Chains A and B, each alone.
Chain A
Amino acid sequence: MSPFILATLLFALGLGTMITFASSHWLLAWMGLEINTLAILPLMAQHHHPRAIEATTKYFIAQATAAAMLLFASATNAWLTGQWDIQLMTHPLPVTLITLALALKMGLAPMHSWLPEVIQGVDFTTGLVLSTWQKLAPFVLLLQLQPTNSTLLLALGTASTLVGGWGGLNQTQLRKILAYSSIAHLGWMTIVLQFSPSLALLTLIVYFTMTFSAFLMFKLNNSTNLNSLAISWTKAPVATALAPLVLLSLGGLPPLTGFMSKWLILQELTKQDLMPLATLLALSALLSLYFYLRLAYSLTLTVSPNTLIGTTPWRHPTSHLTLLLSTSTVATVFLLPITPAIVTLFSLLGT
């Protein structure tokens, strides 16, 4: 792809999300989402591989349907109440429809099945963009809705965490595992969205940091399935030593950053008298933890039979730029002690 076209597409990708951020009218928000979808399509299909084309087609159909549903719901809202503002949604029917459309756009549980296939079909960089940047615009729209139907959000979130855990158990492909991990994390955000929007935003940012690190780590190892993880210590020993920490941080174990969001969400849910839901969420995190542990196991504790020469590629100079990876890995592993500062920052942002 020519660099000029690449720059144009990346600019449009940012522009679409920014239009959605800045809009207070549903039509403009819809336009931002459409620009966003249009701009990511050639980036996904840039290698013209059959898998990439297929993933692009599936992504396009899912996103176009979700965008049309969003606009239909806002048109219904305009016919019923006579206004187009995002923040003034009063009728429950359009709010429900819009929530479902945004869930389809983000890949929340009953509408999730396009996400693993799409992420499986593209390379790690585009998959990273899909599972981080492309979630921002729908998530911000969801933040701005007045939640009149709290049961729907709770149901979507619970189903997402459970499906994200269960779906990942049977996978051996890393990109599908990361997609299911994305579904599960989005479920956590959706559950806490109506009780504390700033906490949902915090969870989103923490998830971005962790998934950034995980995607870049696998990209550095150049491994797309579980088997090829076993030789990753020959390629990058230090990164391989840190990778289990990143994965366990995604799983949410205590001394790591990923624990922060899960801890605060469970605390918020107990404050809202939702003990059974909090228990269910904590248990569903165990499902996800199982496949993260399996990844960590095959990454560090297995040694595949290899020749002597095959064990030393890490001595060769590499051309990988690892500044982003190291920064995000440090953030993924060590941010838990400054939780109070981060919580204060996000609650200031929320007000």
Chain B
Amino acid sequence: MTPVHFTFSSAFMLGLTGLTFHRTHLLSALLCLEGMMLSLFVALSLWALQLSSISFSASPLLLLAFSACEASAGLALLVATARTHGSDRMQSLNLLQC
């Protein structure tokens, strides 16, 4: 395991842990998702750069485009939740629980 590999793995796992355990705001959850996507971007670009795989170095861009799509869909859901529930607190998302 190289230090770079360890770094992006731990960054991703930190993002995942934050998303799992700390859920005060929906916006915080979306930021954690963005952090995970950032570490994935670093992982893909460094893989392409270290193996000098030229044809693969377009894939981080595709990843970034898709993560931008995901982020904008998440923000749209944030706005929609603020419309219907009045705030973006995760605690107010309790209409459907058993």
Contact = CB atoms under 8 A, between A and B. Distances in A.
State if A and B touch, Cβ cutoff 8 Å: yes
Contact of B77 (A49, A50, A57): A57
A31 interface: yes
A69 B84 contact: no
Given A38-B69, A53-B77, A69 B16 contact: yes
B48 to A, nearest CB: 10
Interface string B8-35: 1100100010010000001001000100
A57 B95 CA distance: 12
A71 B47 CA distance: 13
A57 B26 contact: yes
Contact of B47 (A67, A68, A75): A75
A56 B93 CA distance: 11
A56 B78 CA distance: 11
B40 A75 contact: yes
Contacts of A335: none
A65 interface: yes
A9 interface: no
A166 interface: no
A56 to B, nearest CB: 6
A231 interface: no
A69 B80 CA distance: 26
Contacts of B36: 68, 72
Interface residues of B, number: 37
B47 A54 contact: no
Interface of A is mostly: helix
A51 B96 contact: yes
B52 interface: no
- A contact residues, range: 35 or more
B98 A54 contact: no
Interface string B39-77: 110011001000100000001001100100110011001
A38 B39 CA distance: 22
Contacts of A45: 77, 80
Nearest to A56: B77
20 contacts: A27-B59, A30-B66, A34-B69, A41-B73, A45-B77, A53-B77, A53-B84, A54-B85, A54-B96, A57-B77, A57-B81, A64-B33, A65-B19, A67-B70, A72-B12, A72-B40, A76-B9, A79-B5, A82-B51, A121-B95
| A-B interface, 10 closest residue pairs, ranked by CB to CB distance from nearest | A50-B84, A117-B96, A75-B43, A53-B84, A68-B36, A53-B80, A57-B77, A54-B93, A121-B96, A120-B96
